[in-house]
């Protein structure tokens, strides 16, 4: 009798232990399964201008946690053109990466969170005291219904024009502050045989980004937001005006724009073949770290004309998908990502500013310092091209409409396509 009672106790204990080791938290370090101790980081940061920050981050994380293996699962393609499709297939097939790059705003909240695919991270924010360390508006961008779903590693600015200093000096061009001044400068450059504006819209998002900045310039920050909130229709006369101005900007781009990606277009500015580039400030990372150009010597920058005092926010964030095996290790990675140390390693290389407000300013050059100040003082608006302003369905259709507009230049068709797509915002 006694013996079999003891045996039953052992069986019960074994069952309890098995149940524990099957829990998400314990698995990463104890189950010895295929993915335990491996954190798979999924992003689109590959190659020039994109990879250096990620590699430095991974290196620092591996030094801190030598027992955790990192798998860099980056899929090439600016703005995530290819990565987002690969991610969608994996998420639908219940094969999520341990963590993945996702923009704060609709891409996260109306995408993966709404689909019930993400774990809330409020505990991580509490534990690390992050609620006072990230700006409230940024936490809002990664929250839905009071729950926080990701950790922002950076803030990029989208409404910047970078320019070749030498070209501006040679042709006596001043930084334009209005669209009219911009067109005057562009005309002067064109007459002198310089391509005024570099564009690489092999994938249409860089053109969409010019369009969104033109919208911001014409509508101003309040009505720009209202447009994406559905309070202003897409056939509003100011949207039509912005489309016309966008068309006019396209008169000044390089002929081979559709054959280039964003790095190739930045190269035109670096080589002095083109004068200006409207690109998020990942281009700053590319100019400084890859092309070794000096800030305010080789290249300068100004707000997209008519958008001074406004900041188009693009934030790269990482969250915790449901159903992954090694939650504990992934949380260690996310905790690291949210630290000032990690943010100050990553952002000076990436061209972005830290998402935290208490990072070490001395690690950033003049551009970074100014961007930090501007971020604090400006009206913040979400970017369409980078997934924050509208749901993915609308963005896909807006990119298609932009792509057609770039070749056909028919404002009417463009506006109609945008309006038809707006039910998907």
Q: Which is nearer to ligand BGC, 73 or 240 (CB)?
A: 73
Q: Residue 91 and residue 107: Cα distance in Å, rounded?
A: 14
Contact 171, 153 (CB under 8 A): no
- Contact residues for ligand BGC, defined by CB under 6 A: 44, 50, 78-80, 156, 280, 282, 314, 316, 386
Shortest Å, Cβ 356 to ligand BGC: 17
Shortest Å, Cβ 101 to ligand BGC: 7
Shortest Å, Cβ 327 to ligand BGC: 25
For 8, other C-beta atoms within 10 Å of its C-beta total 10
| Torsion on CA atoms 363, 368, 374, 375, rounded to nearest 10 | -70
Q: Which is nearer to ligand BGC, 78 or 135 (CB)?
A: 78
Shortest Å, Cβ 416 to ligand BGC: 27
Q: Residue 265 and residue 262: Cα distance in Å, rounded?
A: 5
Q: Residue 134 and residue 130: Cα distance in Å, rounded?
A: 6
Shortest Å, Cβ 282 to ligand BGC: 3
Q: Which is nearer to ligand BGC, 183 or 364 (CB)?
A: 364
Q: Residue 401 and residue 262: Cα distance in Å, rounded?
A: 19
**H runs (alpha helix) in 271-359:** 282-285, 327-337, 340-350
Q: Which is nearer to ligand BGC, 107 or 329 (CB)?
A: 107
Tell me the residue number closest to ligand BGC, measured at CB.
282
Contact 116, 321 (CB under 8 A): no
Q: Which is nearer to ligand BGC, 281 or 374 (CB)?
A: 281
Shortest Å, Cβ 221 to ligand BGC: 20
Shortest Å, Cβ 381 to ligand BGC: 15
Buried-state track 130-160, b at ≥16 Cβ within 10 A, e below 16: beebbbeebbebbbeeeebbbbbbbbbbbbb
Q: Which is nearer to ligand BGC, 44 or 304 (CB)?
A: 44
Q: Which is nearer to ligand BGC, 80 or 135 (CB)?
A: 80
């Amino acid at each position: 009798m006694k013996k079999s009672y003891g045996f039953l106790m052992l069986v019960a204990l074994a069952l309890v232990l098995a149940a524990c080791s099957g829990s998400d938290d314990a698995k990463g370090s104890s189950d010895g399964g295929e993915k335990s101790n491996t954190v798979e980081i999924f992003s689109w940061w590959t190659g020039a201008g994109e990879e250096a920050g990620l590699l430095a981050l991974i290196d620092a994380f591996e030094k801190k946690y030598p027992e955790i293996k990192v798998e860099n699962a980056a899929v090439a393609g600016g703005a995530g053109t290819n990565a987002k499709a690969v991610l969608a297939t994996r998420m639908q097939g219940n094969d999520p990466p341990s963590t993945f790059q996702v923009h704060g705003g609709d891409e996260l909240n109306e995408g993966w969170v709404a689909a019930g695919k993400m774990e809330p991270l409020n505990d991580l924010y509490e534990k690390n005291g992050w609620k006072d360390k990230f700006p409230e508006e940024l936490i809002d961008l990664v929250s839905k219904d009071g729950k926080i779903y990701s950790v922002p590693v950076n803030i990029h600015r989208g409404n910047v024009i970078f320019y070749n200093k030498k070209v501006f000096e040679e042709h006596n061009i001043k930084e334009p502050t209005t669209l009219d001044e911009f067109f005057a400068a562009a005309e002067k450059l064109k007459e002198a045989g310089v391509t005024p504006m570099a564009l690489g819209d092999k994938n249409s998002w860089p053109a969409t980004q010019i369009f969104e900045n033109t919208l911001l310039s014409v509508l101003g920050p309040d009505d720009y937001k209202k447009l994406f909130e559905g309070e202003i229709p897409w056939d509003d006369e100011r949207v039509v005006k912005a489309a016309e101005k966008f068309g006019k900007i396209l008169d000044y781009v390089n002929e081979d724009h559709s054959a280039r990606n964003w790095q190739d277009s930045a190269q035109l500015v670096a080589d002095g073949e083109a004068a200006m580039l409207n690109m998020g400030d990942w281009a700053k990372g590319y100019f400084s770290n890859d092309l070794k150009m000096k800030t305010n010597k080789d290249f300068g920058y100004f707000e997209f004309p008519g958008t001074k005092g406004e900041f188009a926010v693009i934030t790269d964030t990482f969250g915790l998908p449901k159903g992954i095996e090694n939650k504990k290790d992934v949380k260690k990675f996310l905790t690291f990502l949210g630290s000032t140390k990690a943010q100050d390693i990553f952002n000076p290389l990436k061209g972005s500013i830290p998402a935290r407000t208490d990072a070490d300013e001395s690690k950033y050059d003049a551009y970074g310092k100014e961007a930090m100040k501007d971020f604090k003082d400006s009206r913040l608006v979400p970017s369409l091209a980078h997934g924050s302003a509208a749901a993915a369905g609308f963005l896909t259709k807006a990119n298609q409409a932009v792509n057609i507009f770039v070749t056909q230049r028919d404002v009417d068709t463009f506006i109609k396509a945008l309006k038809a797509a707006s039910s998907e915002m």
